[in-house]
């Protein structure tokens, strides 16, 4: 018990309630912590748009048999849909200033919410491990450009270890560099990540320009048309390509409230995300295709991965000029992965662990726990030997897309954007979000109905024994699985609405009679007050007892709203 007491967050840091369902990073954010304007949202999502994953998305689509321009049409279309999903899924955070773990309690129930949060934690830890490994490779390339001695380090370890001494040193250094970046709170990270994004953009554009200049043009890939196919087969490939592009960002779509809650005003997230997704999100894959096409002309094979381009530079010419170019390019890519790993993995895992263990973990502690856990996972071994696991992780979008759909149906269609914040922070059975034994079984059933039919397709992609089989049944499974994100999203939305029509959600429209958390600004309080006659409500005494807000977390002048 003494150990647990020592590990618990101090009250002035976490502001936790006695029930252990809340801390300072889970409570609705007060106005002084909501610092993000439109351009911060552009910068924040630019971290994803400038990522190597977005740069290489064209490779996945072209590998299916699509041309560059067909791939770009699908990418632009998916980015438009991404922008809409990000804005819509971010509205609970923008309007009520709560993150994904807390909003999940409204959708899944106060106990049921542990499932989606645990799933995202699981995926986030693997993303943490893989991103740190790729960042370590960029760090090793940077050091190889600096020192010929480092470049020629002996492998030292046996081949079965799947790692060299240089790679291991680069990985360890990258993990150390992560420590100060993870210490920065999200609401204070705008300038840091704007700087990182500028470096990332200049680096990637410079690599593209070098490729085009060295190849004296864009190369052959851009002029190639897709191979001749039966029209029906080509149609399925287009559908599969569209779903592949959609699936890439389904996890951050689902948990968008984690970051939209930092918006000064709900509308700040809208314009910023439209610019980031539709503009930058479409341009960077095109740059990746241009660079790959040019390198195909230069080396005979397209180089989709920028770190491989840098290694090719040094392998072919280790002159001082080439080493300088490789050093700056590798440094830029390392910074790119520092920012991506912090946002996609560090903050996300930190927020999830805070939701799972609010008495002991806040965002910063959770991020450091995630970093330590990712190091213990030995990512080089996972990438080299755990092919089935990696394939399953790539298919996780079939689990997250239906959660996105259920969240949208619940918040916009059924609840009409009204939440009772106080009932999100206690497990008492008189709370709105207790449902049955703390679980909203409507959500669980709709979610399962959306992904279970796709399980055979996921198994086929994950297991090479099934992937080699070809018959009419297998072909049907493949085509059905090509619809993965679209199917699971649509089924979950429709089934959740039907189930809630048969078994209506309790006490729809209720909200708190007072601003318990000191979270609303005067204009927000006024807007809530205009709706006061529509849904009178009185907060439960037990909820109030569990929701004592510390003075440091309250706004200077608590705003009372009569609703």
Highest-scoring range by mean pLDDT, 92-101, 239-248, 507-516: 92-101
User: Domain limits at 173?
Assistant: 2-546
183 belongs to a structural domain: yes
SS3 assignment, position 426? coil
The yes-or-no verdict on residue 349 having pLDDT over 90 is: yes
Residue 556 lies in a domain: no
pLDDT of 531 reads 39
In a domain, 560, yes or no: no
**Lowest mean pLDDT segment, chosen from 188-192, 193-197, 502-506, 539-543:** 539-543
What would the mean pLDDT of 533-550 be, rounded to a whole number?
A: 42
Neighbours of 220 (CB within 10 A): 13
Segment 28-54 shows an average pLDDT of 92
pLDDT band at residue 221 using 50, 70 and 90 as cut-offs: confident
In a domain, 211, yes or no: yes
Residue 557 domain-assigned?
no
Domain of 499, CATH number, reads 1.10.4160.10
The yes-or-no verdict on residue 200 having pLDDT over 50 is yes
Find the mean pLDDT for residues 303-323: 93
pLDDT(387) > 90: no
Alpha-carbon distance 26 to 354, whole Å? 7
Pair of tokens at residue 212: 């085009």
Residue at 555 is within a domain:
no
**Residue corresponding to tokens 């200077």:** 556
Quick: pLDDT tens for 403-457: 999 999 999 999 999 999 999 999 999 999 999 999 999 999 999 999 999 998 8
First to last CA, the chain: 42
Q: How many domains does the chain have?
A: 1
Of 167-181, 206-220, 528-542, the poorest mean pLDDT is in 528-542
Residues 471-485: pLDDT tens digits? 656 777 878 888 899
Q: What is the pTM of this model?
A: 0.89
- Among 186, 339, 197, residue whose Cα is nearest residue 263: 186
What sign does the CA torsion over 291, 297, 298, 299 have?
positive
- For residue 552, being part of any structural domain is answered with no
**Mean per-residue pLDDT, 330-351:** 96
Return phi, psi of residue 439, to 5°: -130, 135
Work out the angle between the directed axes of helices 306-316 and 320-340 (0-180°, nearest 10). Answer: 160
Q: How far is the C-alpha of 227 from the C-alpha of 65, rounded, in Å?
A: 7
551 in a structural domain: no
């Amino acid at each position: 018990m003494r150990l647990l007491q020592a590990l618990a967050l101090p009250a002035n840091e976490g502001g936790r309630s006695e029930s252990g369902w809340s801390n300072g990073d889970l409570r609705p954010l007060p106005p002084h912590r909501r610092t993000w304007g439109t351009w911060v949202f552009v910068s924040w999502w630019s971290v994803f748009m400038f990522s190597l994953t977005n740069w290489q998305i064209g490779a996945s689509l072209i590998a299916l048999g699509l041309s560059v321009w067909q791939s770009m049409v699908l990418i632009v279309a998916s980015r438009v849909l991404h922008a809409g999903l990000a804005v819509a899924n971010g509205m609970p955070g923008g309007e009520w200033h709560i993150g994904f773990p807390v909003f999940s309690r409204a959708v899944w129930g106060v106990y049921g919410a542990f499932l989606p949060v645990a799933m995202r934690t699981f995926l986030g830890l693997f993303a943490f491990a893989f991103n740190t490994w790729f960042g370590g490779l960029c760090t090793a390339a940077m050091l190889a450009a600096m020192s010929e001695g480092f470049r020629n380090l002996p492998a030292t370890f046996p081949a079965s270890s799947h790692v060299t001494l240089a790679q291991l040193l680069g990985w360890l250094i990258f993990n150390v560099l992560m420590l100060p970046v993870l210490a920065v709170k999200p609401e204070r990270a705008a300038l840091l990540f704007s700087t990182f994004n500028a470096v990332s953009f200049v680096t990637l554009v410079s690599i593209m320009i070098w490729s085009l200049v060295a190849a004296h043009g864009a190369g052959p890939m851009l002029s190639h048309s897709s191979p001749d196919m039966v029209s029906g087969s080509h149609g399925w490939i287009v559908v599969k390509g569209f779903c592949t592009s959609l699936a890439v960002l389904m996890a951050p779509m689902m948990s968008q409230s984690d970051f939209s809650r930092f918006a000064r005003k709900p509308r700040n997230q809208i314009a910023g995300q439209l610019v980031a997704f539709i503009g930058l999100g479409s341009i960077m894959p095109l740059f990746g295709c241009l660079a790959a096409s040019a390198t195909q002309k230069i080396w005979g094979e397209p180089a989709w991965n920028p770190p491989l381009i840098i290694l090719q530079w040094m392998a072919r010419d280790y002159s001082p000029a080439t080493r300088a170019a490789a050093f700056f390019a590798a440094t830029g890519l390392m910074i790119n992965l520092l920012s991506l790993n912090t946002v996609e993995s560090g903050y996300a895992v930190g927020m999830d662990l805070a939701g799972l263990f609010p008495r002991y973990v806040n965002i910063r502690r959770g991020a450091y726990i995630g970093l330590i856990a990712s190091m213990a996972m030995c990512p080089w071994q996972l990438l080299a030997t755990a092919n089935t696991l990696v394939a399953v992780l790539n298919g996780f979008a079939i689990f997250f897309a239906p959660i996105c759909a259920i969240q949208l149906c619940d918040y916009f269609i059924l609840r009409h954007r009204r939440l009772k914040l106080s009932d999100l922070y206690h497990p008492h059975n008189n709370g709105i979000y207790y449902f049955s034994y703390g679980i909203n079984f409507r959500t669980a059933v709709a979610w399962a109905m959306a992904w279970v039919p796709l399980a055979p397709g996921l198994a086929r992609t994950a297991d090479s024994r099934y992937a080699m089989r070809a018959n009419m049944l297998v072909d049907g499974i493949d085509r059905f699985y090509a619809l993965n994100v679209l199917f699971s999203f649509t089924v979950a939305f429709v089934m959740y609405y039907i189930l809630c029509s048969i078994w209506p959600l309790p006490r729809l429209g209720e909200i708190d009679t007072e601003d318990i958390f000191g979270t609303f600004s005067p204009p927000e309080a006024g807007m809530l007050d205009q709706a006061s006659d529509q849904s009178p409500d009185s907060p439960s005494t037990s909820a109030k007892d569990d929701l004592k807000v510390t003075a440091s977390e309250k706004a200077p002048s608590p705003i009372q709203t009569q609703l």
